[in-house]
Structure 1
Amino acid sequence: MTSNGTVAEVQPSEIHVDGAAYEVEDIRSTGDLILDVSFENSYACNRSIPTDDLRKIKITKSPIPSPRIFYRVRLDTLKKSSRYFEHLLGPSFAEGASLAKGYADVAKIGLNPTEITADMLPRIKIVDEDMATRTIGREKIFGDILRIIHGAEHTTKPINLNTLTVLVVLADRYNALPSVALYFRKSFINYKYPVALDKKSEEMLRQKILIFYHTEQSLRFTAATKELILRGSSRWNGAEERENDFQTAWWDLPDGLESELAHRRACVVRTIASVQSQYLALYSSKDRQCNLGYDSSGACDSFQLGEMIKFLVKKDLLSLIPFQAASPEDEDYIWPDAYAGDIEALIGLLRQCPSYQINQYHNHCGLRSKILPVLDYIKSCIEVSVGVKYGRSKGVWLPDAWSLKLNKSPASTKPKWITNSSETEPEASDKSRHFDFARIASKGTLGSQDMRLEQAAKTMFTAQTWSWVKEERQSDTALKGNFSTPLIKTGRWT
C-alpha cells in the first residue's frame, strides 16, 4: 500500500548474471532456492515452431532460441516431490554440497532464505537438453510442473495433446510423476482427446498411450494399446528412419511396452494367418475334405482349393512363390511384405470369402462355413485380451506379458498347425503351446463373455501350433503343406 492509499504494483524480481538481467519466475515467493535452467533447443524441434517464426529463423540464419529461466522454489517441497531433485540436491552430489555452503553463507549474516531477495539465494544450474520431446516452449510446461508440486495451478494455455504429453514426459524425466499424475487426473479428467484419421494419427495415439500410462488411467490405456496393436505401427514395419522420425519419447514406449505391443500384434496376425494356412494345406493334401461321399467329392475338393487360392490372392492375403534358388537377400527379387494393415480389416477380408459350390448338391463344402466360427471366436478374443491391462499400478502388467523377454515363453514367428492324428500329436512339453479350436467350440464358450475367455485368448494368441478343424475327422495324416501365408516376417520387434 502506497502513501496515497493505492495498492503498490509488485515488481518482478531480477537476477543479474554475466552482465545480463533475468526476470525470476516466482513459483513460490517465499522460496529458498533458485533453479537456473537452460533449455537447449535444436533444429530437431522445428515441427513445434510456428511456421512464420521458423521461416524467419531460416531467412536470418539465426540459431534456434534456447531460453534460460530462473525459478524461485522451496527446497523441501522440491526434494519431497521429486526423486531427481532429492538425489541431485542431496549430500552425494556437488550440487547438494554447493547448496549447503550457500545456506551456510546466508546463515552467517543472520538472514532467512525465505525472506531475502532472489539474487542472494543459492542457485543450482540445470541444463534441459532437447532429447525426449523435440518441443519449443517447454520451459512453460516445466514451470507448470514446479507449480503443481508446490500446490498451485498450471498456467500454460491453451491445453492441447502435445502440451499434456510434454508435461508427463518432463515429469517422468525429473521423477515427479506421482504429484503430476494426481493433478492430471483431477484437472484434465474431462479433456477430450482428439481422434485423427490422417497420417498424424499414429503419433497422436502414441502420445495418448504415454499419457494414460504415466498418469495411470488404466481403462483408457488398455483401449489405446489395443487400438495401436490392431492398426499397426510404422515403427514396426521396418520403414527407414529419417533424421527426425521416431526420436521423441512416445516413439519408444517405456518399460518394455514398445516390444510388447509389437509382439502382441505379431501374435494376433500369426494366429489369423494359421487359419488359412491350415485349410490350404488340408485341401491340397491327399485326404478327402468333402464328406458327402459323391463321385464328385474329389472334384469338389479341387474346385474349393482353386476358388480359395483365387480369393486369397485377389485380396492380397496369399503370395504364390515359385521354386527357385533365390535368396531372401536378393535385391532383384520382390518378396512379399508382412501384413501391415488393420487387423479388424484383415478379419473383414477373410469374412468376405464366398460360399462356393461345384453344384447344387455340395453345400457347406468350402472355406466360408469353416472359417466364420473361427473368425468370430478370434474377434471375441481380440475384444477382451489384446490391449495391455494393469490394475492399481502400471507395473502390474509385466507378469502377464506375452513377449519373450518379459515372460520367458518364446513364440514361433512362423504360422503352424497340427492335425488330430496321433502321428502329429504334440509332445507333452509342447501341449501347453498347442491350441485346439474343437475343444473350445465343444465347451460352448464360442462368442461368450466368460471370464475365462481372456486367459483362453492369451493361450490362443501365444500358441506355437493350432488346429482349426471344428468337426472330428475319420482319418487325418500329417500334412506337409505346400502353401504358406507370408503375413509375418521376422523383424526387430518379433
Structure 2
Amino acid sequence: MSAPKSPAAGLAKSTNNIIRVGDQEYPLLDIRSTGDLILDVSFKNTAECTKSIPKDAIRELRSKKSPVPSPRIFYRVRLDTLKKHSEYFRTLLAPQFAEGVSVAETLSSLSKSNLNPAEIEAEKLPRVMIVDEDTATKTLGRELIFRDLLQVLHGASPLTSPFTTHALTVLIILADRFGGLPFLTRHFQKNLLSHKYQISQDKNGEEILRQKVLIQFHTDPGVRFAAATKELILRGSFRWSCNYDMSAEYQTSWWDLPHNLEAECAYRRTCVLRTIASIQSQFLAIYSSSRERQCKLGYDSSSSCDSFQLGEMVKFLTKKGLLSLVPFQSVSPEDSDYIWPEAYTGDVDYLINMLRQCPSYQIDHNHGRCGLRTKLLPALDFIKSCIDSGLGIRITASKNGPVFDSWIPPPTPKKSFYVANERGEDVDVAGENPKEFQFALVRPKMVWTGNNSNVERSAKGLFTAEIWDWVTEPESIGKSAGLGIRPQ
C-alpha cells in the first residue's frame, strides 16, 4: 500500500523525485541536489488538525470523508549546513548520539568506496529519522513549511506561495523546534518586516493577530512585540471570555501564549477597563451624592445645572450601553427573566472614541463648561497617551528565558483587616496601602512627578492604581501635592 497523499507527495511525483524504502515509494525533495544527508521525516497528523497548507486541503478531506494523511517525506540536505545553522541538528548529529555515529559511519564507508556523496543516488546516503507530531499548530501540510525552513537554512527563499500569516507562523514554530530560529531571524528579516497581517474584526482576525504576537515574540521581542501585544490587549479576546472552551480548534500555541503572556495580556486589559470606568463612576457619584455644588458659576441656576448635568450624563452613558440602571429589589442570579449587565468586551479604542462623543450639554448659554465633556476629554487624552507609551509588554532576555515587568500582583500572605478612614472608606490596614492616582497633580505638566519616578512615570502606575481621582479643580489637591500616584 502506498503512503497517504499529501501536497508534497504530489509535488515530488510531478518531478519524478521518489525514494524507495522496501516495496514502497516516498516523495524525495531536493533541498540541495548535491546534498550528502537524507532527512526521513514523518509528519503525524490527527483528526484534530483544523488548519491546512494549502488552505483548501482540510475542506477537501472532509468533503470526501477521507482519513487525515500522515505523510512521510525525504529531504536531501547538506550535513555541514544543518549543523552550522541549527542547534537541534548540531546536537542530534554529534558523535555522542546514535544518529551522529550512524551518519559518520555511512559517510566513512562511502569515502572508502571512492563514492562522492554529492554525486550518488539518494538511496545510498545516510539517513536520519525524525517524527514531527503536530501539537502546536494543528496544521495539515507542514511538510511544505518544513521544506521552506530547510530552504532558508540553505540560503534560499521559501517555495510556498502565497506565503500567508499562518504559513509564516508554522515556519517560526518549526524553526524554534529545530533550533534554526536565530539564523532564520537574521536571514529572513526582510520578509518578516514586510509581511502584511490582514487583521479583521471577526474571530479569524483575532487568530491572525495572535499569530502576529507569537511571530514577534520569537523574532522581534522589542518594539514590534510590544505593539502586537498592545493591539491584542485593546482588542480583547474570545480566549478570555467566560464561554471559552478548549475545543480542538483553539488548542494551538497562539491561542495560549507562552511564558504567562496569556494571563498578563488579559490582566492588563482588565486594568485599562477599570481605569476608564473609574472616570464615569467618579463623576456619577459626585453629581448624584456630593453635597458640594459642582457648578461653580454661582448663579441661581447653578443647582439646576447640576441636576441637569446628572440627567444628561445618565442618559448618554445608558444610551451608549456603558451604564445599567438596576432596580432596588433583590433578584435571584438564577432568574432567567432578569437581564444582568454584561462586562464590556469590545475594542478599547472604540470605547474611548465612544466616550469622546459625549456632547457639551448646558442648561443655558451661561453654563458652557459645566458638563461631563470638559472633565472627560482631558482624562481620556491622558489615558490614551499612557496606552500608547506603555501598555504593550516589553520583554528582556535573561539566562532563564524572556522576562517582563508583570502587572499581576504577587499573592498577599497577610490576612486583610479593614477599618474606616476619615472619609468613611474601608481601608485594609494589614496589607499594603492602596495606590491613588490624582489627575489634578499630573495634568498641569502631563508628566509623572514624585519620588517613586521609576514606577510612577509608567503606564503601569496609572492602570494598576486602586483609587482614581479625576477631579482637576485646584481645591481638590491635598497636602501631598507633587505626587501623581500616592499611597492613601
Secondary structure of 2:437's counterpart equals strand
Q: Indicate if the aligned counterparts of 1:421 and 1:475 stay in contact, CA closer than 8 A.
A: no
The aligned residue for residue 464 of structure 1 is 466
Q: Alignment partner for residue 325 of structure 2, among 300, 320, 325? A: 320
Matched positions, count? 449
Measured in 1, the distance between the counterparts of 2:140 and 2:43 equals 9
Measured in 2, the distance between the counterparts of 1:197 and 1:373 equals 29
How big is each residue's C-alpha offset from its partner over 1:309-335, in whole Å with a ceiling of 9 and x where there is no partner?
222111110122234544656666432
Cα distance change on mapping 1:293 and 1:429 into 2, 3 Å: farther
The offset of 1:270, in angstroms, is 0.9
Letter in 1 for 2:82: L
The aligned residue for residue 256 of structure 2 is 252
The aligned residue for residue 340 of structure 1 is 345
The aligned residue for residue 213 of structure 2 is 209
The offset of 1:204, in angstroms, is 1.8
Cα distance change on mapping 1:321 and 1:439 into 2, 3 Å: same
The aligned residue for residue 315 of structure 2 is 310
Measured in 2, the distance between the counterparts of 1:130 and 1:474 equals 60
Measured in 2, the distance between the counterparts of 1:218 and 1:428 equals 39
The aligned residue for residue 151 of structure 2 is 147
Measured in 2, the distance between the counterparts of 1:445 and 1:428 equals 32
Letter in 2 for 1:335: W
The offset of 1:459, in angstroms, is 0.8
Letter in 2 for 1:147: Q
Query: Structure 1 residue 37 and structure 2 residue 41: aligned?
Result: yes
Q: How does 1:253-268 map to 2 (within 5 A)?
A: 253-268=257-272
Letter in 2 for 1:469: V
Q: How does 1:363-442 map to 2 (within 5 A)?
A: 363-390=368-395, 398-404=403-409, 408=410, 430=432, 433-442=435-444
Letter in 2 for 1:463: A
The offset of 1:247, in angstroms, is 2.2
The offset of 1:262, in angstroms, is 1.6
The aligned residue for residue 131 of structure 1 is 135
The aligned residue for residue 104 of structure 1 is 105
Measured in 2, the distance between the counterparts of 1:52 and 1:203 equals 18
Cα distance change on mapping 1:230 and 1:272 into 2, 3 Å: same
Q: Alignment partner for residue 236 of structure 1, among 224, 234, 240? A: 240
Letter in 2 for 1:16: R
Letter in 2 for 1:307: E
Letter in 1 for 2:170: V
Cα distance change on mapping 1:99 and 1:314 into 2, 3 Å: same
Measured in 1, the distance between the counterparts of 2:462 and 2:277 equals 13
Measured in 1, the distance between the counterparts of 2:63 and 2:361 equals 66
Cα distance change on mapping 1:328 and 1:36 into 2, 3 Å: farther
Measured in 2, the distance between the counterparts of 1:345 and 1:215 equals 30
Measured in 2, the distance between the counterparts of 1:55 and 1:13 equals 27
Measured in 2, the distance between the counterparts of 1:475 and 1:66 equals 69
Question: RMSD of the alignment, in Å?
Answer: 3.8
Secondary structure of 1:44's counterpart equals coil
The offset of 1:105, in angstroms, is 6.1
Cα distance change on mapping 1:56 and 1:317 into 2, 3 Å: closer
The aligned residue for residue 65 of structure 2 is 61
Measured in 2, the distance between the counterparts of 1:428 and 1:243 equals 43
Secondary structure of 1:157's counterpart equals coil
Q: Indicate if the aligned counterparts of 1:384 and 1:454 stay in contact, CA closer than 8 A.
A: no
Q: Alignment partner for residue 278 of structure 1, among 252, 262, 282? A: 282
Measured in 1, the distance between the counterparts of 2:57 and 2:276 equals 49
The range that moved more, 350-359 or 202-211, is: 350-359
Secondary structure of 2:317's counterpart equals helix
User: What is the TM-score when the length of structure 2 is the normalising length?
Assistant: 0.78
Letter in 2 for 1:436: Q
The offset of 1:197, in angstroms, is 4.7
User: What is the TM-score when the length of structure 1 is the normalising length?
Assistant: 0.78
> Which one scores higher on RCO, CA 8 angstroms, separation ≥ 6?
1
Cα distance change on mapping 1:225 and 1:39 into 2, 3 Å: same
The aligned residue for residue 10 of structure 2 is none
The offset of 1:274, in angstroms, is 0.7
